[in-house]
Amino acid sequence: MVSAPRHVACVMDGNGRWARQRYLPRTAGHRAAEAAVIDVIEAARSAGVGWLSLYAFSTENWRRPSDEIDFLMGLIRRTLRKHALSMCARNIRCRFLGVSDPRIPSGLAQDISDLVELTRDNRGMTLTVAFDHGGRRDIVEAARALIRDGVPADLVTEESFAEHLPHPDTPDVDLVIRTSGEQRISNFMLWQVAYAEWVFPEVLWPDFRAEHFHECLRAYRNRERRFGDVRSPNPILKGSR
Amino acid sequence: MSAETIAEQPDISILCPDALLADYCQDARWGLAVVRATVLEAAHPQIGAALIENSTFVTHPWRRVFNTLLSVQRILDADPRVRDKEGARLNRMHARIAGVDPKGRPYNAMDPDARAWVVGSLFESTVNLSRMSGVTMSAGDMERLYEEFKAFLVLLEGTADHLPPTVDDFWPYFDETIERGLENTEAMRIILFELFGRMPAPPLLRTHPALWAVGRAMAGPVIGEFLKGTLPESVRQRAGLADLPGSHMLARGVYMGTGVAARVLPESWTRTDTVVGLLDPSLANGGSGSHLLSALRRQQTRAAALIRLLSPISGDDSSSAGSAARSADRFFAEVLDQTGDGYVSWPDIAAMAREVASRLDLEADGEERLFDAFAGWWRELSSALDTDGDGRVSRAEYAAAASSQASPALVRVAEVLFDATDADGDQTISAVEHRALFRTAFSRDVRTTGQDARYSRSEFIREFLDFMAGRHDDSAGYDSLLAQA
């Protein structure tokens, strides 16, 4: 039996549609997403996934109506506070990817840095929340960092480049789950998903539960991961524990 | 002083670890002498003006106390080069402080009489507080201490001619200056009446504002009264201090009490290092305790994070626009406005450069580069934000334009700061170099943990820019460098 993927990422899509189907405001969909997030964190932990990344808010999401943004910021803050203690107790290390826009309310920014500080030494599972994240921006930032470090062109390799990305100790993503059937990358962890398997369950994110997560893991296990190699029919081991 | 005093100059080599002054500055109570001397200095019109216009004493009183201590320790270092370097640094620092006071009188921190008064008042305070604690200095010790203070002035000025040649001549000079040379300056009033009432918490208690507020409410007036009680009669009259019955007794009592405590408590407890280390664990250098202290501090930040996360959200932080403005406001008050006058002007920026230069113990050219970079940033800042053209940036001007853009001049500051911090020039910041600047160990996930942990140039610059954009409350330790007292 093949073990679980090492790094799973979720693009949490479908909150708006979920709400529309119920004739509710979009904000209701976001609120309903919380339960799914908590369920998935628990499911990933029990399945032995070492790294879980969640795409909470992209750099493009700032274009949404300001009411919705305000609501989202408040919701994220409340959710974060509500679960901070249990994250800590469950030995989950929380990290954030992005979080650089000055429009992020200072209270939320403080809570984020507090949560990171609180869980810094936890080693059970690493939860990376991509918040105000853009994959291209990270790559541009890494390029800037390389130039500032004065790295000569010949020494710029995939490895040295990856070293300059945020949280460079994060392993490549093995499996991306994008809910609601949408099949796009949407500027998500572009560098890290290079060899990822993608699954696109039809279920909307607020309805996504542990059993859906396990289903996705099963689908992943049934795929052949070849990393471009054509010889071996069964090399799923690479990238998993 | 006068022509006949051109006698022989004291030899600055008496400034060494064996100096009598070293014993005094090891005693935590000497901090009180420093504060008392500062009141006397502030009453000097030139020094008072310089303090008001340039000093961060009011906003960052702890910093000034710690830095004075550091300076004296360097001057008493066994290696004469350390001493000379510190003297040169103090001179460079003072050379940058000059201007015109609100009454139109010029002031200059290099003024020889003013500098003699600084050294003289520190000597007098040391003697005075020693006497009040019940230990009267022997005549021999007093002469020796006076010689050391004169040597200190020689280190700065190259001559001690502006102080009287002997202790016997010193007292008439002191009385004369008190009588005629001092004024009821604004700086003195601030120190006497306001400072202790709103003194910011020392770093250790920063996460317990309530505790500090209670302690300060009780201790503040006592310390204030104590200080007033120790001042010479005519200074008190000039400052309009009511001769509160008992304030002199109180002063005596406090000092006697600490004198007794110093005798009863284990010696290490009353040593300045220990007290400073307790007040600000990040300052406890080396030693066996520093590991424990840094672990303690870490626990403390974590506990503070937990408490903040568990305490209810204060309702005023719901709209993103409003809170962004508040955050800019806080950044303005805590970081940019170093002198606490409600405006950002060159002295504020210079204070930042001064703090960095002092921590890194920079040579003249490194210091020059640093000041140039900060000056470039100031030019950019003032041309972009000073909309009414009064040469300073008000809180409102800053809030209106608070941009998170990393300006080229600020990147330049970051680069120069990196070069200055990177003492061995290997293009990375090691743990030791980091400690010199921030006085803390690495506080965040550096790529590799352990002995080889290092910051690259780009990481360092990014963190600096993040901090200066007000994005993170404390990324590397800039709070301890620029925001905390």
The H-or-E segment that residue B132 falls in is helix B112-132
Distance of CA B33 to the CA centre of its chain: 15
CA angle (A235 as vertex; A230, A237 as ends), nearest 5: 155
With pLDDT > 70 as the criterion, what percentage of chain B qualifies?
A: 65
| Band (B102; pLDDT cuts 50, 70, 90) | confident
| Minimum-distance CB partner of A115 among B309, B314, B473 | B309
Would you state the structure tokens that stand for residue B244, as one six-digit string? 């509160």
- B466–A100: do the CB atoms touch at under 8 Å? yes
pLDDT band (50, 70, 90) for residue B335: confident
A154 catalytically annotated: no
Residue A146 in this model has a pLDDT that exceeds 60: yes
Contact assignment for B313 to A145 by CB distance below 8 Å: no
Give the end-to-end CA distance of chain B in Å, rounded to a whole number: 37
The CA-atom distances, in angstroms, between B350 and each of A139, B96, B227, B314 are 36, 9, 30, 36
Contacts of B68 (CB under 8 A, 6+ apart): B34
Is A119:B306 a contact under the CB 8 Å cutoff?
Answer: no
Q: Closest approach of chain A CAs to the CA of B473, in angstroms?
A: 7
Q: How many CB atoms lie within 10 A of CB B292?
A: 12
Token look-up 């005596």 returns B252
Select which of A39, A61, A122, A187 is catalytic: A61
Mean pLDDT of B131-151: 85
State the Cα–Cα distance between residues B390 and A19, nearest whole angstrom: 54
Give the confidence band of B322 by pLDDT, cuts at 50, 70, 90. Answer: very low
Known active-site residue A61: yes
The minimal CB distance from A84 to the residues B309, B327, B402 is found for B309
> DSSP letter at B96?
T
Q: How confident is the model at residue B359 (pLDDT cuts 50, 70, 90)?
A: confident
User: How many whole angstroms separate alpha carbon B385 and alpha carbon B401?
Assistant: 7
Q: Please give, one letter per residue, the 3-state secondary structure of chain A.
A: CCCCECEEEEECCCHHHHHHHCCCCHHHHHHHHHHHHHHHHHHHHHCCCCEEEEEEEEHHHHHCCHHHHHHHHHHHHHHHHHHHHHHHHCCEEEEEEECCCCCCCHHHHHHHHHHHHHCCCCCCEEEEEEEEECHHHHHHHHHHHHHHCCCCHHHCCHHHHHHCCCCCCCCCCCEEEEHHHCCCCCCCCCCCCCCCEEECCCCCHHHCCHHHHHHHHHHHHCCCCCCCCCCCCCCCCCCEC
Residue B164 is predicted with a pLDDT of: 92
Closest-CA distance, B370 to chain A, in angstroms, reads: 19
Task: Give the pLDDT confidence of B208-264 residue by residue, as tens digits.
Answer: 666 666 666 666 666 666 667 677 777 777 666 655 556 666 666 666 566 555 555
pLDDT at residue B353 greater than cutoff 80: yes
Instruction: Please provide the average confidence, as pLDDT, over all residues in chain A.
Output: 89
ipTM rounded to 2 decimals:
0.78
The one-letter amino acid at A118: L
Closest chain B CA to residue A162: B447
Task: Check residues A235 and A128 and name the one with the higher pLDDT.
Answer: A128
The three-class DSSP label of residue B408 is: helix
Q: Which residues contact B363 (CB under 8 A, 6 or more apart)?
A: B85
User: How many Å lie between the alpha carbon of A107 and the closest alpha carbon of chain B?
Assistant: 7
8 A C-beta contact, residue B124 and residue B133: no
Residue A67 sits at the chain B interface (C-beta within 8 Å) = no
pLDDT over 80 at B65, yes or no: no
- Reported confidence tier of residue B199, pLDDT bands at 50, 70, 90: low
Average pLDDT over residues A161-175: 93
Higher-confidence residue of A37 and B349: namely A37
Q: Is the pLDDT of residue B356 over 90?
A: no
* A88 contacts chain B (CB < 8 A): yes
Chain A hits for B306, CB-CB cut-off 8 Å, are 84-85, 88, 114, 118
Average pLDDT over residues B357-374: 83
